[in-house]
Amino acid sequence: MNKEGKDCKPSTVKRSMAIVLTLMMIISTLLGSGNLVYAVGNGEMVLKSVNHDEAVKEAVIDGNIITLTVPYGYSGERLDLSDMTYELKDGFQNQCIEFPSGDEAEIDGTTVEMEVRYTYEEGEDTETVFSTSYYVEVTSGQAPTFSGPISMTTTINEDIKFKSSDFTSYYDKNDGAEMGFISINTASIAVGELEYNGSAYEAGSRIKVSDIGKLIFKPTNIGKASFAVTAFANDDAETDCGYATLNIEVTYPAASDIKLSTNQDTVLKLSSTPFVNACNKTIGGTFDYISFDTLSSNGKIYINYVSSTNVGTLVQTGKNYSKSDLDKMTFVPNSGYFGKVNLQYKGYNTAGDVFTGKV
């Protein structure tokens, strides 16, 4: 046994010394390279801001929870946190950050620990490295949305030339992409038709936002009607962001009001001149006739009025009256009435164009 002991002991000592020397060299290398930083945990909330190039906005820091939001439709399943940039609050000097369990975070998954190491810039101890553990979560952004209603009015003889802002103003990209396309459920409705780039629009086909200026609505009839417009995001999936109702009302062009006056209990002789002028300014062409849509209960209009005992022919709503008829008309206010009287009419030219007006 003694011999065996003598033979073994020197070899054991040599191996032990070699191990110790190796460990000392490794520790020296780590310290010299800066890869090993001793830190004392004290839990100071030292972070002022955190950002990431892939995030839609600056991270939200709530206590020791850091929330990064990636764009809606983000293609990856994980986010590399080593690409984060951060800033410490005043009074703290950054040393480094460490991710004890790895620096990748799963989108909408569990949090990842991030250890922030720092020193104090002032005070008795500016050498000791302290640390605070934060927990980083990465969430998916909110999808873009598109909703209405969108309301537009035009006259029977005036096309609507759409602009991109007619639709983009009803689009909220939230954490997603800008609007990329629109499509419309129908090309023809009771009051008109859609044209795109000079041809009939094909219902359901997609139009780039940059090409919306090529879309035109051509009115054909008076009235109201609606389209369903769907918006799509300018992302890889062309995300459907919802639809808005486009309401279009087609009216006749309106002439400026004709303003006349008379004294109490005094009849007023009418003339075709203001009606012909209204026609010329509003739709042009040659004046043909008018018809009254409404008359007043505060007086009556007669053709060939002479006196209260010879009133002539009563003017009625819905009947057509020519230029010569208008020159023979007289308004007779009710006895003792004082105030305003409003009449509404439609005017026509010989080409069949229509305008509306008020007296």
Q: How far apart are CA 349 and CA 336, in angstroms?
A: 37
Q: Are residues 162 and 97 in the same domain?
A: no
Q: Are residues 295 and 209 in the same domain?
A: no
Q: Are residues 151 and 134 in the same domain?
A: no
CATH number at residue 232: 2.60.40
Q: Is residue 84 part of a domain?
A: yes
Question: Which residues, 6 or more positions from 172, have their beta carbon under 8 angstroms from its beta carbon?
Answer: 144, 145, 146
Q: Is residue 127 part of a domain?
A: yes
Q: Is residue 88 part of a domain?
A: yes
Q: Are residues 129 and 154 in the same domain?
A: no
Q: Are residues 190 and 212 in the same domain?
A: yes
Last residue of a domain, one of 106, 140, 174: 140
Q: What is the mean pLDDT of the chain?
A: 90
User: In this predicted model, what pLDDT tens digit does every residue of 59-87 receive, in sequence order?
Assistant: 999 999 999 999 998 889 999 999 999 99
Q: Is residue 13 part of a domain?
A: no
* 8 Å CB contact between 321 and 271: no
Q: Are residues 272 and 333 in the same domain?
A: yes
In this prediction, residues 120-148 reach a mean pLDDT of 95
Q: Are residues 58 and 134 in the same domain?
A: yes
CA nearest 244: which of 224, 229, 232, 227?
229
User: In this predicted model, what pLDDT tens digit does every residue of 267-319 receive, in sequence order?
Assistant: 999 999 999 999 999 999 999 999 999 999 999 999 999 999 999 999 999 99
Q: Is residue 312 part of a domain?
A: yes
Q: How far apart are CA 171 and CA 145, in angstroms?
A: 6
Q: Are residues 136 and 152 in the same domain?
A: no
In this prediction, residues 188-207 reach a mean pLDDT of 93
Q: Are residues 183 and 85 in the same domain?
A: no
Q: How far apart are CA 194 and CA 198, in angstroms?
A: 10
Q: How far apart are CA 288 and CA 96, in angstroms?
A: 88
* 8 Å CB contact between 112 and 133: no
User: pLDDT value at position 41?
Assistant: 64
Q: What's the number of domains the chain is made of?
A: 3
Residue 57, domain extent: 40-140
User: pLDDT value at position 27?
Assistant: 45
CATH number at residue 84: 2.60.40.2340
User: pTM of the full predicted structure?
Assistant: 0.71
